[in-house]
Amino acid sequence: MEFDCIERLQRISLTSEEGEIIKVHSDYREKALEECSLSLIGRFLTTKLINSRAAKSLLRSVWKFGQDLRISDIGDGLFQFKFTMLWRLPFDLMNVEVGRDIGGGIGNVLEVDCKAITSDQAPFLRVRVEVPLSKPLRRGAPILSPEGDKVWVAFQYERLQGLCFNCGILGHELKTCTRPI
C-alpha cells in the first residue's frame, strides 16, 4: 500500500504555480541568526529516555537562568539551548566598561565587580554606585548598545534597609510614607 502511494506521487507533474520560486527576504534570516547567536546545540549523554520537561526545569534551576533559557528539542536526540539575557543585559555587554557606563547613568560609580561572570554563579554585573538618598531608586533603564539596539535592563539592589515600596526612596518604610499611594 505504501509503495502504491509513493509511485502515484512520483507520477504527478508540477503545475506552473508549483514551479514558481518564492523569495525570502534576508532581514528575516538575519533576525533568526541573531536569535541563535547565543545558542548551544547538545545532547544528554545517556542511553535512557529522559523526561525533557523535568530536564529543562532542572537545567534552568541549576544554571540559574530561569526563563532566560529556552530549550528546544530539535530531533535526533539533540536540543538547542537558547540563552537570551540575564536581567535583560546581553552577554556581549557583560564587562567592566559597560558596568561603568550603566552605573554612571545612575550615580557616582565606586566599583564594578564582574567575578560572577567568570565563576560558577549566574552571570551578572555588580556595580556599586553612590546615589542621592532624596531621589527614588530606579527599577531599571533602557540601555543603548553600540549597534543601536535598545534593551531594558532591570536593576536589583542588595542590602537595602528602610526602602519605601510606595515612593522608592530610602530612609522610611511604606507605613510611614507621606506620599499618596
| Residue 87: pLDDT band with limits 50, 70, 90 | low
The predicted pLDDT at position 57 comes to 84
Determine phi and psi for 68, rounding to 5 degrees: -80, 5
| Residue 101: pLDDT band with limits 50, 70, 90 | very high
The predicted pLDDT at position 126 comes to 86
Q: Of the candidates 40, 33, 41, 32, which has an alpha carbon nearest to the alpha carbon of residue 76?
A: 41
Coil vs helix vs strand at 42 = strand
The predicted pLDDT at position 3 comes to 61
Task: State pLDDT tens for residues 110-158.
Answer: 999 877 555 555 567 889 999 888 889 998 888 888 888 788 888 888 8
- Please give the model's pTM, rounded to 2 decimal places: 0.54
The predicted pLDDT at position 85 comes to 56
Across the strands, what pairs with 163? Answer: 170
Task: State pLDDT tens for residues 18-66.
Answer: 777 777 677 766 666 666 666 788 888 878 888 888 888 888 777 766 6
168: left (phi over 0), alpha (psi -120 to 50) or beta: left
Determine phi and psi for 164, rounding to 5 degrees: -85, 125
The predicted pLDDT at position 43 comes to 85
Ranges of each domain in the chain? 2-83, 89-176
The predicted pLDDT at position 11 comes to 74
The C-alpha atoms of residue 143 and residue 67 are separated, in whole angstroms, by 21
Q: Mean of the pLDDT values across residues 62-90? A: 75
- Give the position of cell 535583560: 88
HSE-CB of 173 using CA atoms within 13 angstroms: 4
The C-alpha atoms of residue 140 and residue 131 are separated, in whole angstroms, by 14
Whether 97 has a pLDDT exceeding 60, the answer reads yes
150 Cβ contact list (under 8 Å, min separation 6): 142, 143, 144
